[in-house]
């Protein structure tokens, strides 16, 4: 299995496991959204709470340029660490919710090629 297919499988499995966690309110359900063609994967909460419509992104992950981008993680769980634990290299995970200038100081990928980053730093 190639790397991208493996990433897709792992991301889908992770989101499916989170979707199976029962919600605390009746009328609210967790749903997964898998767009394998564009490599966009989400877990959302959807439904009604009292008379209020709920449509909330819990986790949003994209695969961009061969890396897993965590675009949103509205949980208390460390999704990036879970991905590393199942064999994804830390440098292949980008914390998309972090500003680009902060990413080099994390244990994870920066989202752009190292040579591009050096050029950007030199031009500043």
What digits encode the pLDDT tens for the residues 90-104?
Answer: 999 999 999 999 999
pLDDT for residue 111: 82
Q: Looking at the domain 3-123, which fold is it?
A: TATA-Binding Protein (3.30.310)
* Per-domain residue ranges of the chain: 3-123
Predicted model pTM = 0.86
Residues 42 and 112: their CA atoms lie apart, in Å, by 23
Query: Confidence band (pLDDT; 50, 70, 90) for 119?
Result: very low
Q: Which of 121, 124, 94, 90 is nearest to 110 (CA)?
A: 94
Cβ–Cβ < 8 Å for 102, 109: no
pLDDT for residue 48: 94
Structure tokens at 100: 């680009």
Per-residue pLDDT tens over the stretch 2-40:
999 999 999 999 999 999 998 888 889 999 999 999 999
């Amino acid at each position: 299995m190639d790397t991208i297919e493996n990433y897709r499988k792992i991301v889908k499995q992770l989101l499916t496991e989170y979707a199976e966690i029962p919600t605390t309110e009746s009328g609210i359900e967790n749903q997964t959204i898998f767009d394998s063609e564009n490599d966009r994967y989400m877990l959302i909460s959807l439904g009604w709470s009292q008379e209020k419509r709920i449509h909330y992104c819990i986790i949003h992950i994209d695969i961009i340029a061969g890396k897993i981008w965590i675009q949103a993680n509205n949980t208390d769980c460390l999704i990036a660490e879970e991905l590393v634990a199942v064999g994804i290299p830390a440098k292949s995970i980008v914390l998309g919710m972090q500003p680009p200038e902060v990413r080099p100081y994390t244990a994870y990928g920066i989202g752009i090629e190292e040579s591009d980053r050096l050029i950007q730093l030199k031009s500043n």
